[in-house]
Chain A
Amino acid sequence: MSVTIKDVEHIAKLAKLEFSEAEKEKFTHQFNDILKYMEQLNSVDTTGVEPLAQVIELKNVFRDDTVKPSTSTEEALKNAPASSDAHFKVPKVIG
C-alpha cells in the first residue's frame, strides 16, 4: 500500500493543517518511507499471537467515585488566548 498526495491532503485536512505543494510532495515520500520501514514487521510470523491494545501488562486500574477538589475557574482559563464570563472564547462555530 502506498500513500498518494491525495492521502496527505486528506490527513492534513483532518488535522486542520495547510501545506505547500512542495511540502505535500515531501510528506508523501516520507510517509511511504515510514510505511516501508514498518512493513518489515509483516515478515514476523504472528500465528497464534493475541493482538495487544497495550504494551504494559496491566489491567483494571480504577479510581473510586469520590469527588476531588477541582481547579479554580481562574486557573483553568489562565492559558486560554481569550475568555469571557468564565468561559473559553473561541471563533464562532456554527452547530
Chain B
Amino acid sequence: MSVYDTYEAVIGLEVHAQLSTKTKIFCGCSTTFGNAPNSNVCPVCLGMPGVLPVLNKQVVEYAIRLGLATHCTISPTSVFARKNYFYPDLPKGYQISQYEEPICQHGYVDIDIEDGSAKRIGITRIHMEEDAGKSIHDMDTDTLVDVNRCGTPLLEIVSEPDMRSAKEAYHYLYFIWQTVKYLGICDGNMEEGSLRCDANISVRLKGETKLGTKAELKNMNSFRNVERAIEYEIKRQIDLIDEGGPVVQQTLLWNADKNVAAPMRSKEEAHDYRYFPDPDLVPVVVDKEWIANVEKLIPELPKVRHQRFMESFKLPAYDAGVLTQERELAEYFESAAGQLIKKNEENYKSVSNWIMTDVLRVMNEEKIAVSDFPVTPEHLGAMVNLIADGTISGKIAKEVFDDMLRTKDHPKAIVERKGLVQISDTGAIEKEIDLILAKFPNEIHRYRGGEVKLTGFFVGETMKVMKGKGNPKLINEILKKKLDG
C-alpha cells in the first residue's frame, strides 16, 4: 500500500458563475464580452462618488433558479454587504457582495461518479455579487485597467468540504456547469471566464476527523486544469506531511503551462475585508409567490432528462449521457425523434448514433452551435425515416448527410435530385450477383473451401457495380443463398 492511500483529501469548491443578463448587476451598462476597453461603463460601475446602485431584478430571479435547482432554502430576506480591499480593477475600493444573509443556503446536489455510484455534496450558500474589472500586467512599468467587466453579475456557489478526490471535484464542477447552462443563467464558457473555480484543499490520515491545514488553489480555467491542479496539490500536501513538514495555509495559483501550483505573493492582512451592510442597497425580500413563479421557469434538469431518455427512448446510459450533456443537444435529439414515422427502439438508437458520431463531429470540427447547425433535427429525423423504410442504405445516407450540410436541402429532395433511391428489386440484384459470380470462379472455389470471409469481397464487388445503391441486406441474403446453395 502506498503512502498516498493512507491519506484522504478534503476538498471544498467556490464556483463563480457569471450571469447571462443583458446588463450589469447595479447599472444599465451592457455585459457583452469583448467590447472595446472601457466602453461599457457609467458613473455607477466606475465607482464615482455620490452614485447609487440599483439591483437588477433578473439577477435575483437567476439566483432563486439556481437555489431551487440545488435544493437550497431561499432566504426570505437577504442583504448586500461591502467587502473592502484595494485593487486597481475595483474602482470603489469595495466589492458589493453578500455576507451574513445570502440569498440561498443549505442546499445539496447529488453527483454521479464513474463507478455508477452517486454522492451528495452539500451547498453551504449561494450569494449574489459584482465582478471586478480586468488588469493587464504585461506592460513593463504600468498596469492597464479595463472596467467593462466591473459590475457583471456573479453567483458565488460555495460547497461544503464534502469532496474526497480530484475526480469528485471534477464531477461536482461538471454538475454545476451543466445545471447553470440548463437553467439558462450562465453560458458556462470557462475559457472566457464565465465559470471560474477556486478550491480549498487539505489532507488528513484516513479515519481522522479533524481537518488538516488547508491551502486555497486559484486560477484553474478548465475542467482538465481543475482535476490536475487538485491532484497535484493533494500529492504535494501528503509529501510535505510525510516528510514531517507542516502544510502552510496559503493561496496557490495554478500554472497550466508548467503543471505546477505556485504560492501567490502573500498579501499580508489581505483577508481582513471588514464586511458591513451596504447602506446604498435595501433588503431583498422573496415571498412564496415569487419563488413559485420562478419554479415554473425551471426546465427539466440533466439528471431527470438522462433518466427519461433511457426510459422513453430505450437508449443506453452512455447515449443518454452524451445527448443530455447540453440542453440544446437534448432538444435537438427530441425534435429529430419526434419526426420518426416508426417510433421504435431501433430508430431512436439510429437518431442517437447519427447525432453522437456525425452531428457532434461536425459541430466540434467546425465549432458550430447546435442552434446554427445546418442539418435541422427535422431533416435528420426525415433521413432516418428514409433509412428505416429502405429508401436509402446507411452508406448512401452518409452522402445525403454531407449534402444536407452543404445545401440544407430536405433529404427527400436530395435523394430525388441525385437519384440515390436504393435498389431493393430482388430480380435486379440477382442479375448483378450472377454476373459477379461468373467473373470470380476461383474465389467461389476458395469460399466453398472454407474462406468464409470472402463474403465481404463479393458484397463489395456487387455494391461497386450497383454504385452503392443496392440494398445491402438483400445483397447479403441473395449472395449467401447462391454461394452456399
Contacts and interface: CB of A to CB of B under 8 A. Distances in A.
A14 B93 CA distance: 11
Query: Could you say which of B43, B77, B283 has the most chain A C-beta atoms within 10 Å of its C-beta?
Result: B283
B282 A70 contact: no
A88 B29 contact: no
Contact of A88 (B54, B88, B277, B283): B88
Q: Chain B interface residue count: which class?
A: 35 or more
B88 A93 contact: yes
Contact of A92 (B29, B36, B39, B141): B141
B420 to A, nearest CB: 50
A68 B27 contact: yes
Contacts of A84: 142, 144
Contacts of A95: 137, 253, 264-265
Contacts of B84: 14
Contacts of B57: 62-65
Nearest to B78: A53
B256 interface: no
B157 interface: no
B37 interface: yes
A70 B143 contact: no
Interface string B278-289: 010111110000
A82 B21 CA distance: 32
Interface in A52-95: 53-54, 56, 58-73, 76-77, 82, 84-95
A53 B281 CA distance: 9
Given A63-B57, A65-B58, A53 B86 contact: no
A36 interface: no
B143 A86 contact: no
A61 B57 CA distance: 9
A90 B143 contact: yes
Given A54-B283, A88-B144, A90-B142, A10 B269 contact: yes
A64 B272 CA distance: 34
A71 B269 contact: no
Query: Could you say which of A56, A58, A62, A94 has the most chain B C-beta atoms within 10 Å of its C-beta?
Result: A62
A63 to B, nearest CB: 5
A67 to B, nearest CB: 5
A16 B282 contact: no
B35 to A, nearest CB: 9
A86 B279 contact: no
A19 to B, nearest CB: 16
A61 B87 CA distance: 29
Contact of B55 (A16, A62, A82): A62
B98 to A, nearest CB: 11
Closest 10 CB pairs of A and B: A68-B28, A87-B144, A53-B277, A62-B57, A65-B58, A88-B145, A53-B79, A58-B282, A90-B88, A86-B37
30 contacts: A10-B269, A13-B269, A14-B269, A14-B274, A53-B277, A60-B282, A60-B285, A61-B54, A62-B56, A63-B23, A65-B56, A65-B58, A70-B29, A71-B42, A84-B142, A85-B37, A85-B144, A86-B38, A87-B146, A88-B38, A88-B145, A88-B147, A90-B143, A90-B144, A91-B141, A91-B142, A91-B143, A93-B135, A93-B143, A94-B137
Interface of B: 21-23, 27-30, 36-43, 46, 54-58, 60, 77, 79, 84, 86-88, 101, 135-137, 139, 141-147, 253, 264-265, 269, 272, 274, 277, 279, 281-285
